[in-house]
Amino acid sequence: MPAVPSPGGAIRPEILHEAAEWLVRLHDDVVDEADRRAWRKWLASSDEHARAWQRAEQLASLVGGVPGAVGAAPLRRM
């Protein structure tokens, strides 16, 4: 059974991956209200999700001025 991360502790790689997927999905041209509701539900479901989202947003802001193909690589590694 996997250990439950402590608040403010390490973020599991699979949760970081989910956050990166949400980031890409929410910046898609075809995102709809159902997507936004699902994201809000995911975000509110755990502190780990909230911390992963915060980290994904920070990374996205750092690569925001970088051309798409180059900027996408760090997000895929999350």
The rounded distance, in Å, linking the Cα atoms of 13 and 17 is: 6
Residue 28 tokens, joined:
């898609």
Average pLDDT over residues 60-74: 64
pLDDT tens-place string over residues 4-27: 544 578 999 999 999 999 999 998
Structural domain tally of the chain? 1
pLDDT: which is higher, 39 or 68: 39
Burial of 71 (0-12, 13-18, 19+ CB in 10 A): middle
**Structural domain boundaries, residue 60:** 13-76
For residue 1, being part of any structural domain is answered with no
66 lies in a domain?
yes
Mean pLDDT (the chain) is 83
* 71 pLDDT above the threshold of 60: no
